[in-house]
Amino acid sequence: MHDKKFATRAIHAGQNADPVTGATIMPIYATSTYTQEAPGEHRGYEYSRTGNPTRTALEECLASLEGAKYGLAFASGSAATDAVVNLLKQGDHLVSCAEVYGGTFRLFTGVYERWGLELTHVNSSKTEDFRSALTKNTQMVWLESPTNPLLNIYNIKSIADLAHENGALMVVDNTFATPYLQNPLAMGADIVVHSTTKYLNGHSDLIGGAVVTSSLPLYNKMSYFQNAVGAVPSPFDAWLTLRGIKTLQVRMEAHQRGAAKIADQLQSHPMVERVYYPGLEEHPGHQLAGKQMRGWGGMVSFKLKDPSMVDSFFRKLHLFAVAESLGGVESLACHPYTMTHATMPEAKREALGITPNLVRLSVGLEDPADLMAELQKSLE
């Protein structure tokens, strides 16, 4: 299936007709356990925490889309992150880009540092600044690209090369770009993480996560954590994610068409201080994104010139739901300072540029003209 085009793999990878009934669509295997012929003699499944056919189909599909050999599905993006960081041990050093999803920051600082993980955040997209952060004990480098919420772009290949020179693993959270727009494994990453809650599912009706890799030793370790910890998706959530993935290509094309139009118009609005969107030539990561991505994505962030406008701006929105999360068919507007990144210390937020006047938009599939008209009205 790896030789097929993206849309074909999204619809068919891991999803052959059901061998029992011939069902074209993968069934929801709503079972907790499986009858064995005799003790230890089973058909590949024993218990649904360990494995479930619907989940297996999702894992195989996700691996195919990322050009990986192995996939693992989890109950949330945070659970997927947890399985990856569990590869480390007490005293190991993790280097991460400073601007990460608030839940990732919370997990790194509120859980793993307390358990003895050494952590360095790099507030720069320059590869040389990552080199300076590495120590002889660095075992993992963690990137988001584009980042949440300011959409900074990192050179995945050069930082992966640097990590490998130092004997460290390279991990990329690819949630914002999706496998349709970017494949970090092809650029040297060892592991890719997703919140399948977002674009992969695309309909804001489940929570899920995923990890993919082409390393059998890494897969075996993370598979052990998946089973031991038990943070796995239900068969129904796995099935919903599979259904969402079938339309990922057409959705992402529409998301980024709308986002590009909105970013362009916001850029010239007198009430907007700055727009963050990789598709804009003024974006500092524009050229790099053009090389390592196949599109600009559906996320747009911007800063209001007048911070006192923030409350009234959000209260006037209707088509844009004021909500956390992203990547659904409906448009969402988020205030990272008080919502997704509220657990970050205030000084940290300010240093990163996550200020009270920052707005993050997940541009949905509504008509871009209607969305822009609402933004114009809210900015008045």
Three-state secondary-structure class, residue 242: helix
Q: Are residues 114 and 18 in the same domain?
A: yes
The residues near 181 (Cβ < 8 Å, ≥ 6 apart) are: 252, 256, 293, 294, 295, 297
Tell me the C-alpha to C-alpha distance, in Å, between residue 256 and each of 200, 240, 249, 250, 353. Answer: 15, 23, 11, 10, 24
CA distance 137 to 158: 20
What SS3 class is residue 261? helix
Give 295-334 as a DSSP string.
S--SEEEEEES-GGGHHHHHHT-SSSEE-S---SSS-EEE
What type of residue is 23?
A: A
Split into its structural domains, the chain has a count of: 2
1 inside domain: no
* CATH code, 331: 3.90.1150.10
Give me the sign of the Cα torsion angle 196, 197, 199, 200.
positive
Q: Which of 245, 270, 288 is the last residue of a domain?
A: 245
Same domain, 49 and 172: yes
Report the pLDDT value the prediction gives residue 40, as an integer from 0 to 100. Answer: 86
β-strand pairing of 358-362 with 299-304: antiparallel
Alpha helix (H) residue ranges in 67-215: 77-85, 102-107, 127-133, 156-165, 178-181
Task: Tell me whether residue 125 is in a domain.
Answer: yes
Question: The CATH number of the domain where 133 resides is what?
Answer: 3.40.640.10
pLDDT of residue 262: 98
> 301 and 234, same structural domain?
no
Last residue within a domain, chosen from 245, 264, 295: 245
Q: Please indicate, yes or no, whether residues 236 and 340 belong to a single structural domain of this protein.
A: no
**Residues with a known catalytic role:** 49, 101, 173, 198
Backbone angles phi and psi of 169, in degrees to 5: -85, 150
pLDDT value at residue 1 = 74
C-alpha distance from residue 337 to each of 151, 227, 242, 350 (Å): 15, 35, 33, 9
* pLDDT (0 to 100) of residue 359: 98
- Give the pLDDT score at 3: 85
Q: Is residue 207 domain-shared with residue 268, that is, in the same domain?
A: no
In a domain, 91, yes or no: yes
Query: What confidence tens digit (pLDDT) does each residue in 22-31 have?
Result: 999 999 999 9
Which parts of the chain register pLDDT below 50?
A: none
Q: How many CA atoms lie within 13 Å of 53's alpha carbon, on the beta-carbon side?
A: 18
The pLDDT value given to residue 367: 98
What is the pLDDT at residue 149?
97
